[in-house]
Amino acid sequence: MTTSSAPGKIILFGEHAVVYGRPALAVPVTEVQATATIRPGAGPGIWIEAPDIGLHSELSRLPADHPLAAAVHGVFAALSPSLHVGRTEGVIIHIASTIPVASGLGSGAAVSVAVIRALSAHLRRPLPDERVSALAYEVEKLHHGTPSGIDNTVITYAKPVYFMKGQPVETFQVGAPFTLLIGDTGIPAPTKESVAAVRKLWEADKSRWEKIFDEIGEIARNAREKIVNGEWKKLGSLMNANHALLRQLTVSSPELDRLVEAGLRSGALGAKMSGGGRGGNMIALVERKNAPAVAEALKSAGARRTIVTQVR
Ligand code: MEV
């Protein structure tokens, strides 16, 4: 039996602008995870079991662009010609995840990474991180249109990442750990839709939105410096500024704004939406001792769930 787990993720700064080549910062959220377990099957064939989504199917019965099928086919394509999907012994791929779906926590990328790692290890050809991330990116593309690649990267490396599309992966050190509260609006937020909405705006007035992307990129650069230097308290105002720019990009929502305001009113040092937006999650920077009070305030303002995470 082979098992592999992958964490969730949260974008600290730079979502959306990252699709247009600006830097963004993302960190793993280890409090939630996706796990893939591979065990030999009783008979031939590759079976995929994901009880959380009511899936129990033989691989060949799933459409080729189903994310789980795409991850499995990706592994075999990477290992061909020595391994072939029709010529391997039967296996059961069991998937479980505690990462909320379509909420900006990277559930899809985490499942892909866990499956790719577990299956390639089971086939005794474990793939290096670079290949794992590249295969997970191919799966992301099927469902997200034009993803930047930040989700699969931070989840594969499970370290804080300074990400620029098309550049080599840059991880960075956190000078002093800090606490974030993640607040979930409970509203499913398909990234594909908010990314497409921003593209429409950009196509209609490129120079206006390029300036906004520049400002967001500058915030992300500045934030990395503060994190590396252990000056995490200074991130609060950068988060607020980034949120204001995301509002201009129309990717926030009344529910996200309500949680951001509730966080700030209850003692957070800064707050912003995180990920694709229009639903999904927001994050608030808190002193550790204030986390329970801010979590209560977020719940009163409509948060379905909160997660406290340490960035280290
Ligand atoms: C999604 O987690 C982050 C976005 O910037 C999209 C992407 O980078 O692919 C909204």
The structural domains of the chain, with segments of one domain joined by +, span 2-170, 173-311
pTM: 0.95
Residue 264 phi, psi dihedral angles, 5° rounding = -65, -40
- The CB of 140 under 6 Å from ligand 1? The reply is no
Q: Which amino acid is at 305?
A: R
Residue 89 pLDDT: 86
d(CA 22, CA 150): 12
Mutate which of 18, 141, 192 for ligand 1? The one with the most ligand atoms within 8 Å of its CB, which is 18
Among the ranges given (181-185, 186-190, 194-198, 258-262), the one the predictor scored with the smallest mean pLDDT: 186-190
End-to-end alpha carbon distance in the chain: 31
Query: Does the pLDDT at position 144 exceed 90?
Result: no
| CATH code of domain 2-170 | 3.30.230.10
Using N-to-C axis directions, what is the helix angle for 67-79 and 129-144, rounded to 10°?
140
| CATH code of domain 173-311 | 3.30.70.890
Residue 195 pLDDT: 93
Nearest partner of 27 among 244, 267, 246, 228, judged by Cα: 228
d(CA 87, CA 242): 51
- CA 8 to ligand 1 center in whole angstroms: 14
Q: Which atom of ligand 1 is nearest to the CA of 144?
A: 9
Nearest partner of 57 among 101, 95, 12, 102, judged by Cα: 95
> What whole-number percentage of the chain has pLDDT above 70?
100
d(CA 297, CA 291): 10
Among the ranges given (13-17, 152-156, 157-161, 191-195), the one the predictor scored with the smallest mean pLDDT: 191-195
Out of 52, 65, 151, 214, the active site residue is 151
d(CA 106, CA 102): 8
- CA 72 to ligand 1 center in whole angstroms: 23
Residue 190 pLDDT: 85
- The 8-class DSSP code of residue 266 comes to T
Q: Which residues of 95-111 are buried (b: 16+ CB within 10 A; e: fewer)?
A: bbbebbebbbbbbbbbb
Please, what sign has the CA dihedral across residues 18, 24, 28, 31? negative
* Segment 45-76, tens digit of pLDDT: 999 999 999 999 999 999 999 999 999 999 99
d(CA 145, CA 127): 25
Q: Which atom of ligand 1 is nearest to the CA of 195?
A: 10
Checking DSSP bridges between strand 46-50 and strand 91-97, what pairing results, if any?
parallel
202 close to 20: Cβ distance less than 8 angstroms: yes
Nearest partner of 266 among 233, 237, 289, judged by Cα: 289
Confidence of residue 205 (pLDDT cuts 50, 70, 90): very high
Query: Does the pLDDT at position 173 exceed 90?
Result: yes
**Residue bearing the CA closest to ligand 1, atom 2:** 275
Mapping DSSP onto H, E and C, the string for 6-39 reads: EEEEEEEECCCHHHHCCCEEEEEEEEEEEEEEEE
Calculate mean pLDDT across residues 241-249.
98
Query: Does the pLDDT at position 146 exceed 80?
Result: yes
* Segment 73-112, tens digit of pLDDT: 999 999 988 777 767 789 999 999 999 988 889 999 999 9
d(CA 159, CA 145): 25
Residue 205 known to be catalytic: no
**Residue bearing the CA closest to ligand 1, atom 9:** 147
Q: Do domains 2-170 and 173-311 have the same CATH topology?
A: no
Dmax (CA) for the chain in angstroms is 60
